[in-house]
């Protein structure tokens, strides 16, 4: 069981580092669904690993991190549901900002390295 938990924690750490690197390099939007899913998944994996090893400060940090992820993903779901009910309410032309003033996640061009 310990090996399995270690693998879960390692995968969680790699996922979080990957997401952070992608946002930092401009290849992924920090406001995008992809980043939020990676961030949430990595936090949950590290929370499981930390709790198993009784590293309570880290487990608590990742519990809060996961909670923020749930809240953020809930906002994505609510926004998409509202857009489906009212097609004109959430629509923005490509290259324009949404109601929050941030560009749509699909409008961010990938960085060329």
Distant-in-sequence, close-in-space partners of 82: CB < 8 Å, separation ≥ 6: 89, 90
Q: pTM score, two decimals? A: 0.73
Inform me whether the pLDDT recorded for 30 exceeds 80: yes
Q: Specify the residue for token string 């940090």.
A: 61
**pLDDT value for 87:** 67
Can you give the residue ranges of every domain in the chain?
2-87
**pLDDT value for 58:** 97
Q: Which of 4, 82, 72, 16 is nearest to 44 (CA)?
A: 16
pLDDT confidence tier of residue 111, bands split at 50, 70 and 90: low
Distant-in-sequence, close-in-space partners of 73: CB < 8 Å, separation ≥ 6: 33, 36, 37, 40
DSSP H helical ranges for the chain: 2-24, 33-52, 56-85
Average confidence score pLDDT of the chain: 86
**pLDDT value for 105:** 53
**pLDDT value for 16:** 97
d(CA 6, CA 31): 30
**pLDDT value for 43:** 97
Render pLDDT for 49-74 as a digit per residue (tens, 0 to 9).
999 999 999 999 999 999 999 999 99
**pLDDT value for 88:** 66
Four-point Cα dihedral 38, 26, 74, 90, nearest 10 = -150
d(CA 90, CA 18): 30
């Amino acid at each position: 069981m310990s090996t399995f938990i270690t693998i879960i924690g390692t995968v969680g750490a790699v996922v979080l580092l990957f997401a952070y690197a992608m946002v930092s390099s401009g290849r992924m939007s920090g406001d995008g669904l992809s980043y939020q899913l990676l961030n949430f998944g990595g936090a949950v994996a590290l929370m499981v690993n930390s709790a198993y090893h009784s590293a309570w400060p880290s487990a608590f940090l990742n519990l809060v991190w996961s909670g923020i992820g749930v809240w953020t993903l809930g906002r994505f779901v609510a926004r998409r549901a509202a857009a489906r009910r009212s097609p004109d309410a959430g629509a923005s032309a490509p290259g324009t900002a949404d109601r929050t003033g941030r560009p749509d996640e699909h409008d961010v061009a990938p960085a060329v390295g």
